[in-house]
């Protein structure tokens, strides 16, 4: 099944930055891997350690450095990957395509200004739980208010950090929100979790897989070749299984081989799309 008729991506791997008024052209994903790759783009707009609010009711470490060390240790242990998050460097992100950006958490309202002015972001999909935001001392309400002021649609679909089962459960609704935002064609969608290395890229990869005619491995490579990260492929396979084999007599996912649901038939993809789109109403 071709992807040219889907609101996927245009001019996928061009030179950064993209022009906000660039024409919207949709290309088949067969051309993805032959084009130049985007750079990894870091915006140094971090909050200094002295400016991070402390909340004595939480169990987080007392310093920004300790918070980052503990977070990165947990990420390495739970996700078994070498990637790290450096909060002090500010928000960082990667432009995946003309209408999709994957990145880390915005830390202050000025980050929202930047996303609007420099990238033409019209939607933000936040995958963090409240405790994630509190851990880093982020004033989420001020960020949401700035989104309202700038006409950015802010959405939340929380998933537990470092938890593939929580991610698997939440992927269909998160992809539903992403697909809806992209289909509107009003601007880029910024998908983020905390570090932009697990939950957010998983949602983007699942979207590529389910809606853009790619198999899982191709979708995974398309994103991670531009933004090095280690989202749970098993969580995406599990969510694919849940959506395409939603019947009481199905074989348990846990008993299937490790490569199960890395690809799907056209009828399964159509079924998944219908079920994901139906979640918009829930």
The DSSP result for 48-96, as a single string, is PGGGSPP-TTS---SSHHHHHHHHHHHHHHHH-------GGG--EEEEE
- Find the domain containing 115 and state its range: 84-279
pLDDT of residue 208: 99
Burial (CB count within 10 angstroms: exposed 0-12, middle 13-18, buried 19+), residue 91: buried
CATH number of the domain enclosing 204: 3.90.190.10
Question: Does a structural domain hold residue 157?
Answer: yes
pLDDT of residue 182: 98
CA 69 to chain centre: 23
Question: Does a structural domain hold residue 227?
Answer: yes
Output the six-digit token pair for 112.
Answer: 């929202």
pLDDT, the chain, mean: 81
User: CA 105 → CA 108, 219, 227, distances in Å?
Assistant: 9, 23, 15
pLDDT of 11 > 70? The answer is no
Question: Does a structural domain hold residue 247?
Answer: yes
Percent of the chain at pLDDT > 70 equals: 75
48-57, 108-117, 159-168, 204-213: least confident range:
48-57
pLDDT of residue 75: 67
Confidence of residue 167 (pLDDT cuts 50, 70, 90): very high
Q: Are 124 and 157 in contact (CB under 8 A)?
A: no
pLDDT of residue 64: 73
- Helices 266-278, 233-244: axis angle to 10 degrees equals 90
Question: Does a structural domain hold residue 35?
Answer: no
Output the six-digit token pair for 65.
Answer: 């450095």
pLDDT of 242 > 60? The answer is yes
pLDDT of residue 196: 97
Identified catalytic residue from 8, 193, 212, 229: 193
Output the six-digit token pair for 23.
Answer: 């024409």
pLDDT of residue 157: 98
Alpha helices in the chain (DSSP H): 64-79, 109-119, 130-135, 140-150, 164-184, 199-211, 216-224, 233-244, 266-278
Number of domains in the chain: 1
Pairing type for strands 121-126 and 153-156 reads: parallel
pLDDT of 158 > 50? The answer is yes
CB atoms under 10 Å from CB of 250, counted, come to 12
Question: Does a structural domain hold residue 93?
Answer: yes
pLDDT of residue 250: 84
List, for residues 179-231, the tens digit of each pLDDT value: 999 999 999 999 999 999 999 999 999 999 999 999 999 999 999 999 999 99
pLDDT of residue 116: 99
pLDDT of residue 247: 78
Confidence of residue 265 (pLDDT cuts 50, 70, 90): very high
CB atoms under 10 Å from CB of 5, counted, come to 10
Backbone dihedral region of 270: left (phi > 0), alpha (psi from -120 to 50 degrees) or beta? Answer: alpha
147 catalytic? Reply is no
Q: Are 38 and 241 in contact (CB under 8 A)?
A: no
pLDDT of residue 62: 47
Percent of the chain at pLDDT > 90 equals: 67
Question: Does a structural domain hold residue 152?
Answer: yes
List, for residues 37-86, the tens digit of each pLDDT value: 333 443 333 333 323 222 323 344 446 778 888 887 876 666 556 688 99
pLDDT of residue 17: 32
Pairing type for strands 188-192 and 153-156 reads: unpaired
pLDDT of residue 84: 87
Cis peptide before 236 (omega within 30 of 0): no
Question: Does a structural domain hold residue 165?
Answer: yes
Question: Does a structural domain hold residue 51?
Answer: no
Q: Are 142 and 133 in contact (CB under 8 A)?
A: no
Output the six-digit token pair for 174.
Answer: 């998160």
């Amino acid at each position: 099944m071709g992807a040219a008729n889907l609101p996927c991506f245009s001019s996928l791997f061009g030179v950064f930055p993209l022009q906000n008024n660039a024409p919207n052209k949709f290309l088949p994903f067969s051309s993805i891997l032959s084009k130049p790759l985007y750079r990894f783009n870091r915006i140094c707009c971090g909050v200094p350690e002295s400016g991070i609010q402390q909340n004595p009711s939480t169990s987080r470490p007392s310093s920004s450095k300790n918070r980052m060390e503990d977070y990165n240790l947990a990420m390495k242990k739970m996700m078994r990957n070498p990637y790290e998050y450096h909060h002090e460097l500010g928000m960082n992100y990667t432009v995946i395509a003309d209408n999709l950006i994957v990145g880390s958490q915005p830390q202050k309202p000025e980050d929202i200004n930047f996303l609007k002015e420099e990238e033409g972001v019209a939607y933000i999909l936040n995958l963090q739980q409240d405790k994630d935001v509190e851990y880093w001392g982020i004033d989420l309400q001020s960020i949401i208010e700035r989104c309202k002021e700038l006409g950015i649609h802010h959405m939340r679909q929380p998933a537990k950090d470092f938890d593939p089962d929580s991610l698997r459960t939440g992927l269909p609704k998160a992809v539903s929100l992403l697909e809806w935002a992209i289909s509107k064609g009003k601007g880029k969608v910024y998908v983020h979790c905390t570090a932009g290395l697990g939950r957010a890229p998983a949602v983007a990869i699942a979207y590529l897989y389910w809606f853009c005619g790619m198999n899982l491995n191709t979708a995974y490579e398309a994103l991670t070749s531009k933004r090095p990260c280690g989202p749970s492929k098993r969580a995406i396979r599990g969510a694919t299984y849940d959506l395409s084999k939603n019947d009481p007599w199905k074989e348990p996912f846990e008993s299937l081989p490790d490569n199960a649901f890395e690809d799907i038939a056209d009828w399964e993809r159509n079924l998944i799309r219908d079920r994901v789109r139906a979640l918009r109403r829930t």
